[in-house]
Amino acid sequence: MMSDIIPGWVDETRSYLGDPDGITGRGTNHSEINIIMWSWCGQVSGTYSSGDLWGHYLEPMTQLETDYPAVIFIYMTGHVDMNNDANNKAANDSIRSYCQNNNKWLFDFADFDRHDPDGTYYEFVNDNCDYYDSVGGSVQGNWALEWQSSHTEGDDWYQTGESHTYSLNENQKGYAAWWMWASLAGWGPAGIYENPDTHNELTLSVNNSINITTSNQIELSFSIPSDGLTIIDAYNVTGAKISSVFRGYLSEGHHNCLWNRNGKSGIVIMKLKHSSGTTSLKLNCI
């Protein structure tokens, strides 16, 4: 159900980007902007407990993606909150599930608060990295300070100017943010990345190295003959859209992207839309 109250961050985003440009898929005020991410502080728990997570966050984000299809809107979980543990976990899990089920970009801020670099998970933890034996229980230690004390500063971890947490926690979030920005810019094996080869055709295919009958993630390869807004969506045999695969402004040439099936099976029609035309691909997902 559509919320009657539009959050301030939505109006500020629209004001900054300007009216949607139907040609470029970006805003008319700042056409150079192709990524937007708003950060939670401690609001996520209260937004969930008041029943406003959908209307004040997930729904407006989805609408912004529709209105500005060449802008990537990055979703985000909120930091952990020991004082409101149940609502905090429920809110962040809801955001994760929505992003996974709808192929969204997610910066999982809360997940870093619960893991040290060795992968140890802390169930009951505050955003300063104190961990507890239970909700409202006794502090057992601080995972960031413990890890820092047993590792070398300037090699394994670095001092930062963090607030209400410790450097190690900020280091991990910084590394992850770098990886995300680099991936969005075209680096690495995950997400969208480019091949320097250019093509003068509009094509769409499946990477032959991926077995679509067993893999939950399917890698699509596609080529566009000119720079422009590129949209790939998945449809079932009745013509109903089942998921958005990719939306963005790409340069001429060959590209790849990943589609997370999320358990979808049967005949799936992939449609690639570009200013130069439209092409489709039928997949038999078993």
Q: What is the pLDDT of residues 193-210, one digit of tens each?
A: 444 444 468 899 887 555
What architecture (CATH level 2) is domain 8-184?
Answer: 3-Layer(aba) Sandwich (3.40)
Q: What is the mean pLDDT of the chain?
A: 85
Yes or no: domain 193-285 corresponds to CATH 2.60.40.1930: yes
User: What is the band of 187 on the pLDDT scale with cuts at 50, 70, 90?
Assistant: low
- For position 141, what pLDDT does the model report? 96
Note the pLDDT tens digit of each residue in 10-65: 999 999 999 998 888 889 999 899 899 988 888 999 999 999 999 999 999 999 99
- For position 190, what pLDDT does the model report? 41
Long-range contacts of 174-182 (CB under 8 A, 24+ apart): 176/107, 176/112, 177/107, 180/74, 180/105, 180/107
With 80 as the cut, is the pLDDT of residue 4 above it? no
Print the SS3 string covering 13-66.
HHHHHCCECCCCCCECCCCCCCEEECCCCCHHHHHHHCCCHHHHHHHHHHHHHH
The stretch 110-116 carries a mean pLDDT of 92
Is the distance from CB of 88 to CB of 126 less than 8 angstroms?
A: no
Provide φ and ψ at 185, rounded to 5°.
-80, -5
Is the distance from CB of 74 to CB of 35 less than 8 angstroms?
A: yes
The stretch 216-230 carries a mean pLDDT of 85
The stretch 131-160 carries a mean pLDDT of 93
Distance of alpha carbon 244 from alpha carbon 240, whole angstroms: 12
Q: Which residue has the higher pLDDT, 70 or 159?
A: 159
With 60 as the cut, is the pLDDT of residue 192 above it? no
Output the six-digit token pair for 23: 């040609």
Pick from 211, 224, 285, 275: which is nearest to 251 by CA? 224
Q: Which residue has the higher pLDDT, 234 or 133?
A: 133
- Residue 96: CB atoms within 10 A of its CB come to 17
User: What is the band of 3 on the pLDDT scale with cuts at 50, 70, 90?
Assistant: very low
3-class SS at 128?
Answer: coil
3-class SS at 243?
Answer: strand
Distance of alpha carbon 84 from alpha carbon 188, whole angstroms: 37
Residue 214 CA from chain centroid, whole number:
24
- For position 186, what pLDDT does the model report? 61
Output the six-digit token pair for 17: 């980007």
Q: Residue ranges per domain, the chain?
A: 8-184, 193-285
Cite the DSSP H helix spans in 114-166: 143-149
Cite the DSSP H helix spans in the chain: 8-17, 43-49, 53, 59-67, 85-101, 109-113, 143-149, 167-184
Cα–Cα–Cα angle for 177, 218, 205, rounded to 5 degrees: 115
Query: What is the value of pTM for the model shown?
Result: 0.68
DSSP 209: T
